Amino acid sequence: MCCDKKIKSALLSVFCKDGLDEIVQYLDSKGVKIYSTGGTLSFIEGLGVKAQAVESLTGYPSILGGRVKTLHPKVFGGILARRGAPEDGAQLAQYEIPEIDLVVVDLYPFKETLAAGGSEADIIEKIDIGGISLIRAAAKNFDDVAVVASRRQYPELLTMLEKNDGGTTLANRKYLAAQAFNVSSHYDHAIFGYFNREGGIPSFDFSVEGSMALRYGENPHQQATFFGDFDGMFAQLHGKELSYNNLLDIEAAVSLIGEFGEPTFAVIKHTTACGAASRPTLLHAWAAALAGDPVSAFGGVLACNRPLDAATAAEISKLFFEVIIAPDYEAEALEVLKQKKNRIILVAKNPALPAMQCRTLLGGVVVQERDDATETEQSMTCVTRAKPTAEQVSDLIFANKLVKHSKSNAIVLARGGQLLASGVGQTSRVDALRQAVDKAATFGFSLRGAVMASDAFFPFPDCVELAHKAGVAAIVQPGGSVNDQKSIDYCNDNGVAMVATGVRHFKH
């Protein structure tokens, strides 16, 4: 479609002037009449370009400390007038209101002021009134008016004008209107969030401006997009585009690895740890984590909580894996890891996860608090005559962290700060335990002296009996079953230590 509207007049009122100079100079070269306000007017005049102050158009000065500048019929009439409506044209002539063909706005930085910890007075003053009104008015009248609502669109506007010799097409204007309402909706969302920060008004109003196209969705025939600031959490140093499944495993990895203070390595497969170990060095942690299930580790996501050294990089490079996440990398380690061109290498910059989780279901959304409960020795109550040793307590804490991040029903078997085996995603707890016991045997682990963690209580004593006969010496579980005493009695009769936490960790 060819240009159908030449820009003859423009209103520029922006907070950020970076990049505005090129637009101003281009408009001036095309003989466009420019109206402006305050600091934007001074900026334009500083470029040697003539512009008319909005105050001289309206006949009113900027008042109330700048709160009211553009809110006037002579401004909004020129924006909202329908060019094809004779009655609108007659009223413009009657009240001497000039048409405005282009509106360029950049809103007050409300979110930035809020993030910087500004005072309430500063935050309130950064709620833009005139700018947001200009955006909505111009976007509503996209048939005749072009609108830019953010500094991020300055280059796009300039390209559009140059391509159309100082004009716009209807398709251009409709696209710009959609962008404008996108900007205004995110802006209003941030303001609502500030006023509703106590959560007094139940509302699900999720707003994310950044997006990232993914390689594909859960399967290659599904398209997928990530909405969020991935680059704010991670720096991708190498490798192919991320997929939907990669992101699921990355979140599972950083959620788990964040539980540990000592040097720890974890191997994630389908959002569940198939290997994990804590050791004095990363190299030893990696060796122990891989030993837990070297078969499932193939094609997994690896995560550690210490800068990755060259020796460890050389060892993990012997395995095919999709993603590696670390807080940093030695230069020599990166040289080794980058030898595989598709290998995704991530630096965890700020992988803090939001306090609330949401999931779409049944045509709606369910929201819950993230499970941030992590049990310590002080929150574990021994319910048996046999008491766990100090080493067993350490292993119980380790295993309980792992079971918290495993799909229910889940059982984790561990010893010496190493995941020996787990049974996850089973419809019965005893099946999860059998799976874990069988897996441990497959990879040559004796369970004598091991500990067991369960994500929920034991409805019957069959699990503790099976675990004891397999060699388990200590158990951690939430407790809370009407049959708790039966499991406790079995442990007492067979010298097994059991602690209860009172906290269930279902994960669906």
**Residue burial 472-504, b: 16+ Cβ < 10 Å; e: rest:** bbbbbbbbebeebebbbebbbeeebbbbbbebb
430 sits in which H/E element: helix 429-442
Task: Report how far residue 264's alpha carbon sits from residue 279's, in angstroms, rounded to the nearest whole number.
Answer: 6
First to last CA, the chain: 51
Catalytic residue among 6, 186, 270, 340: 270
DSSP code of 209? -
Q: What angle do CA 271, 472, 410 make, to 5 degrees?
A: 25
CA 454 to chain centre: 29
Q: Which of 398, 488, 379 is nearest to 450 (CA)?
A: 398
Query: Which residues are CB-neighbours of 438 under 8 A, at least 6 positions away?
Result: none
Q: For this structure, is 270 an active site residue? A: yes
Q: Which of 302, 152, 327, 314 is nearest to 235 (CA)?
A: 327
Query: Which residues are CB-neighbours of 340 under 8 A, at least 6 positions away?
Result: 317
Which two structure tokens, joined as six digits, stand for 417? 């700060």
Q: For this structure, is 6 an active site residue? A: no
Q: Which of 110, 181, 192 is nearest to 149 (CA)?
A: 181
Catalytic residue among 140, 174, 186, 340: 140
DSSP code of 151? G
Query: Which residues are CB-neighbours of 100 under 8 A, at least 6 positions away?
Result: 9, 10, 11, 35, 75, 78, 79, 138, 145
**Residue burial 401-421, b: 16+ Cβ < 10 Å; e: rest:** bbbbbbbbbbbbbbbbbbbbb
Alpha-helical segments (H) within 13-166 = 20-29, 38-46, 54-58, 73-80, 86-94, 110-115, 120-125, 130-140, 154-163
* Residues with catalytic function: 140, 270
